[in-house]
A and B are shown apart, each in its own frame.
Chain A
Amino acid sequence: MARYVLKRLVLLPVLLFLFSVTVFAIVQAPPGDFLTTYVATLASSGSSISAEQIEALRREYGLDRPIWVQYIRWMQNVLTGNLGLSLEYQRPNAELIGERLVLTVVLALFAFAITWIVAIPAGIYSAMHPRSALDYLLTVLNYIGVATPNFMLALVLMWGAFAYFGLSITGLFSPDYVEAPWSAARGVDLLKHVWLPAVVLGVAGTARLTRVMRANLLDELNKPYVTTARAKGLPEWRLVLRYPARLALNPLVSTIGWYLPLLFSGSLIVATVMNLPNIGPLLLRALINQDMYLAGSILLIYCFLTILGTLISDILLAWLDPRIRLDEG
């Protein structure tokens, strides 16, 4: 077990290096740089900037150097914990990303928790009572859940809350707390607001997970070890939870790794619609304006979280399934 985890930890820096090169290449891929976009924005608003000034800025930001030099300078900064300066906002990237990242993670974890807490029991019930009325109802709800775009669900909920209850349910904070420093009261305020966007983000995943859990468990229920356990005289619920449900979970646990980054990137449209102060809109803006160090930093953090998520699900899987844990390779 220790060796298994260690092997993956050793791989972590190697993967991060590969990702950083890829991320940088992608961010640099569009023609032009931040300054060309900047000049275009200025021109469209009627003002202009002299060619000398642009050249001076380009030298200052190092945009005139070859790409690999720019990459090495970026990496040097990142490795010392400095994510650089946003070209657009003229503020440190770490500061821009910081709180938005925390809120993104909080939102993602809530959506994730809702998904699992609802989907696993629903899937187990459906598999234990296939073709029952409630199973059919859950199936219909699941199809609706998968088929509804989440931004549309967000719009419908926002409209409903406003039209019938006079509530404005956008954002993650009440107006009083938006700019306030972190405090217990602000945390409570966050908890009051986070559940709705979390539900919106979690609906499709819940529907999918319920279907997968149902199918997995139905497969497991036909296995001989279930007959053995039943012949032992175990009560049905205890039997299902202890044996087949446990095995049906294993393949799901291995998907946690890619589920977390999916929540981060999938939240962009919902975040825009619901005016959520998370990282999605920031990344979109940074990409459009070619604010490359900001975009690069965000993407690198995404990659890191993806690798971390995969590592966590690998460890969880090994812990759950002795066939993986004990197969030292």
Chain B
Amino acid sequence: MTPPVLEVKDLRVHFLLDEGVVRAVDGVSFAVHPGQVVGIVGESGCGKTVTMKAILQIVEPPGRVVGGQILFRKDSAPPVDLTRLSPKGAAMRAIRGAEIALIPQEPMAAFSPVHTVGDQIIEALRLHERQWRPTGPRLSRHEAREMTVDLFRSVGISMPDQRVDAYSWQLSGGLRQRAMIAMALSCKPRLLIADEPTTAIDVTTQAQILNLLRDLQRRHGTAIVFITHDLGVIAQMARYVVVMYLGRVMEQGSVADIFHAPKHPYTRALLKSIPSLHVIPRTLLPTIAGSIPHPLGRPHGCPFHPRCPDAIPGVCTERVPALRPVGPQQLASCFLYHRDEAAER
């Protein structure tokens, strides 16, 4: 198997507030292989977006990466630990946008309203010119514009010639997200991070955008980290799934394992709360008992234990379970599957 393009190891991102420390990401590990789509799923506030920002090294203060490694591999070169690079330094900036690109959450607000969308893509193309085209003459503005038109065509934007000169608020939500995808792909990145790319879009357009992403992914072989809270979207897009809760990985495995043989009580509860066509009408949709704790009031022990139906008193309330194998390609952090670990004192 080829080595992973991205390997996150025990990542910790803390927000140092006056009121205390919020451990937004608290020991997250996963790997992304070339051409693979990895889904990160979890409720709001589970640390999905902060994980994304940490990979790009754009966590805003008072947030800080306080531990762990983010190994990024370019071809056969030894991996670079992104946490060791200065977030504002040239080395990190050369990776950001060129090697790892972002498709942000809200296409509505993700473009500057006072610059044309074309202008913002041309900027990216020219900024990273030496990364995606190491030799040749400097890229002219005109040439960059032609390339942007081609990019627009490839992401299925009609009348690309005119759309290049449009402002984002003149485009529909779907077109805006297509333009955003065009920008993310402009420098031929190795890894795409899609942060809830379809959440703010209506369902029909959502399906089109997902098809487009899948299609582009197959054509370019780009690896994608796909962040969402929508398990339906994950099932369509990802081959490997990471389930997060309160800044920790609860379970990870292939899509088939996660959906058909979920191990962790949290994953099971999540799956149960998806509306289905097969249930008896007019019955209540099962929900997860309780609510997400306050960020400053993290439960002691396993973060999920206050809402967990299977919590083991005296064990889950005291100690934090480690992420350990529960199947050939499946890992879970739960004492239910690690009685030996639970028994240790």
Contact = CB atoms under 8 A, between A and B. Distances in A.
Interface stretch (B94-102, B272-280, B308-316): B94-102
A227 B104 contact: yes
Nearest to B100: A231
A223 B105 CA distance: 12
A320 B112 CA distance: 13
Contacts of A246: 112, 114
A231 B102 contact: yes
A72 interface: no
A102 B158 CA distance: 56
B113 A323 contact: yes
Contacts of B115: 243
Interface stretch (A12-20, A21-29, A232-240): A232-240
9 contacts: A224-B104, A230-B58, A231-B56, A231-B102, A232-B96, A233-B93, A233-B127, A322-B113, A323-B169
Contacts of B111: 225, 228
B96 A231 contact: yes
Given A225-B111, A247-B114, A322-B114, 16 more contacts: A224-B109, A227-B53, A227-B102, A229-B112, A231-B58, A232-B124, A234-B93, A235-B93, A236-B88, A246-B112, A246-B114, A247-B112, A250-B114, A322-B113, A323-B167, A323-B169
Contacts of A250: 114
Nearest to A228: B110
A227 B58 contact: yes
A246 B115 CA distance: 10
A235 B93 CA distance: 7
B104 A231 contact: yes
B128 interface: yes
A194 B128 CA distance: 48
B161 interface: no
A156 interface: no
B114 A323 contact: yes
B123 interface: yes
Nearest to A320: B114
B43 interface: no
Interface string B61-97: 0000000000000000000000000001000011111
B64 to A, nearest CB: 15
Instruction: Identify the interface centre among A225, A320, A321: most chain B CB within 10 Å of its CB.
Output: A225
Query: Interface extent on A, as a size class?
Result: 20 to 34
A188 interface: no
B114 A223 contact: no
Contact of A223 (B88, B101, B109, B127): B109
Contacts of B230: none
Contacts of B53: 227
B150 interface: no
Contacts of A236: 88
A19 B85 CA distance: 63
B127 A232 contact: yes
B106 interface: yes
A141 interface: no
B96 to A, nearest CB: 4
A247 B167 CA distance: 14
A69 interface: no
A232 B58 contact: no
A248 to B, nearest CB: 11
A322 B167 CA distance: 8
A233 B97 contact: yes
B104 A243 contact: no
B173 to A, nearest CB: 14
Interface string B113-134: 1110000100110011000000
B110 A224 contact: yes
B169 A233 contact: no
A321 B114 contact: yes
Instruction: Identify the interface centre among B106, B109, B112, B183: most chain A CB within 10 Å of its CB.
Output: B112
Nearest to B107: A224
A67 interface: no
A326 interface: yes
B61 to A, nearest CB: 9
Contacts of B180: 228
Nearest to A250: B114
Interface in A193-231: 223-225, 227-231
B104 A228 contact: yes
Contacts of B105: 224
Contacts of B58: 227, 230-231
Given A223-B109, A236-B88, A231 B101 contact: yes
Contacts of B93: 233-235
Instruction: Identify the interface centre among B105, B109, B114, B167: most chain A CB within 10 Å of its CB.
Output: B114
A231 B93 CA distance: 8
Given A224-B104, A321-B114, A233 B109 contact: no
Interface in A19-65: none
Nearest to A230: B58
Contacts of A228: 102, 104, 110-111, 120, 180
A230 to B, nearest CB: 5
Given A227-B58, A246-B114, A323-B114, A234 B127 contact: yes
Nearest to B93: A233
B167 A326 contact: yes
Contacts of B97: 231-234
Contacts of B96: 230-233
Contacts of B110: 224-225, 227-228
Interface string A173-208: 000000000000000000000000000000000000
